């Protein structure tokens, strides 16, 4: 029987959440920007030490207008990836907000990985 793991990926809009997932799941990098509408879903099957894992990854929209939809996916999360864009200070300043929202909807502090993206891009205006 598979062990199921639920991971949610969070961050401001346009920080590269979907790009990270597409690279991992499909080994594709697409430099064009397509907004995630609400929530998208990916999964990865992985075998570790003879045990099967099914890792569900929920790719969330970063726009405030989708926050009511996205927050319903925060519950029962085993872990999170919080993504920020170091060329956009606003995305870095919102990390605490993402952590607080994540922990508010769970009965424990959810472990997370903080991922900075777009290191190759020169500084741009904040969004």
pLDDT number for residue 96: 94
Q: Are 91 and 11 in contact (CB under 8 A)?
A: yes
Tell me, yes or no, whether 127 lies in a domain: no
Residue 31 tokens, joined: 């430099």
Q: What residue numbers bound the domain in which 53 lies?
A: 3-116
In a domain, 31, yes or no: yes
Which CATH number is 54's domain given?
A: 3.40.50.300
Q: Is the dihedral of CA 69, 71, 74, 76 positive or negative?
A: negative
For the entire predicted model, the pTM comes to 0.75
User: Is residue 12 situated within a structural domain?
Assistant: yes
Number of folded domains in the chain? 1
What pLDDT score was predicted for residue 66?
A: 47
Strands 39-48, 51-60: pairing is antiparallel
Which pLDDT score is estimated for 13? 82
CA nearest neighbour of 117 among 40, 44, 21, 36: 21
Residue 38 lies in a domain: yes
pLDDT along the chain (127 residues), means of 10: 87 82 68 62 88 89 57 82 90 92 87 84 55
Residue 122 included in any domain? no
């Amino acid at each position: 029987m598979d062990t199921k793991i639920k991971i949610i990926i969070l961050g401001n809009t346009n920080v590269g959440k979907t790009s990270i997932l597409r690279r991992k799941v499909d080994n594709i990098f697409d430099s064009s920007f397509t907004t995630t509408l609400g929530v998208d879903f990916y999964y990865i099957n992985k075998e570790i030490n003879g045990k099967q894992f099914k890792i569900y990854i929920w790719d969330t929209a970063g726009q405030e207008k989708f926050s009511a939809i996205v927050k319903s996916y925060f519950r029962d999360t085993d872990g999170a990836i919080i993504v920020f864009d170091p060329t956009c200070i606003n995305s870095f300043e919102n990390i605490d907000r993402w952590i607080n929202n994540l922990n508010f909807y769970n009965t424990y502090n959810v472990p997370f990985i903080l991922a900075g993206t777009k290191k190759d891009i020169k500084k741009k205006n904040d969004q």
